[in-house]
Each structure stands twice: as C-alpha cells, then as structure tokens.
Amino acid sequence: MSEEKIENRIIEKKRWFEFLDRFSRQHKNWLVTVGVTESSGAQTVFAENARLNNIYEAKGEIAVAIEPPPSHDSRKITPIHIGSPHKIILRQVDDRTHKGLTIESDHGTRLHLEFRSTKPPEMVNGKI
C-alpha cells in the first residue's frame, strides 16, 4: 500500500467565515485530536478522540469547539481559541479527502486539528 500524499491548501481570508461554517457542518461529530504548537516550539495536546462540534471566527480569534470523549470527566463542549489568526491551511490527501486543519496566528502559534479517520463517523462505526 502506498503512503498517502498530504496536500496543503491555504484558505483565503475573505472566505474564512464561509469555509469554517461549511467545514464545521461537514465534519460535525467527527473524532479529532486538537493541539497547539507555540512559537517557542512547546506543544500541548488539548484533546484526543474528541467530537468536533464547531469551528468559528469571532472577535479576532478562531475557536474550535469540541466535546470530550465519554471517558472524560466533563461532557461540556469546550472551545480552544487561537488569537490573531492570519492563515488557515486545509490538509487533504490525494483524492481531496480532508485530513485536518492548521490555523496559524500572527504570533507564530499554530493550532492543529487532525481527524482520527478520513471517513465519516457513520462509515467507521467504532472500527478504528
């Protein structure tokens, strides 16, 4: 089996609202890992196998709202924010299947959202 080639596509800033809305609806409840890489190189993973609820732009920042996995103490939807965003990069595989997003800030911080699977939740039915 050949290794999948990841392609990065930069989303134009004037299309962010429309793109994030469509992306959120298309991938609602997909399992994701969300982490942040600081400009210093320090990395933090905020969630693994969490359900994507929404991604939105508001008040000069972008928020990724996730629902923690059932094993987590809280089932509260939690937003993870990145301030002063200046670039959204859609990561996709050869056939244009979405792999995840990277959102970069003016300060060099990068928020990474990676799907557990490139297939919709109803297709994997807990098999991954």
Provide, rounded to the nearest whole percent, the portion of the chain with pLDDT above 70: 84
pLDDT tens per residue across span 42-58: 999 988 989 999 999 98
| Higher pLDDT, residue 41 or 117 | 41
- Per-domain residue ranges of the chain: 6-117
Distances (CA, A) of 84 to 57, 63, 106: 10, 11, 6
pLDDT of residue 119: 57
Q: Average pLDDT of 84-89?
A: 97
Tell me the pLDDT band of 125, cut-offs 50, 70 and 90.
very low
The CATH number that domain 6-117 falls under is 2.30.29
Q: Taking a C-beta distance cutoff of 8 angstroms, is the pair 48, 57 a contact?
A: no
**Helix, strand, coil shares, percent, the chain, to 5:** 15, 50, 35
Average pLDDT of the chain, as a whole number = 86
Q: Rounded distance, CA 34 to CA 50, Å?
A: 8
- Say if pTM beats, i.e. exceeds, 0.85: no
Model pLDDT for residues 63-83, shown as the tens digit of each residue:
999 987 766 666 677 789 999
Q: Are 124 and 117 in contact (CB under 8 A)?
A: yes
Calculate the CA dihedral of residues 6, 113, 44, 73 and round it to 10 degrees.
-140
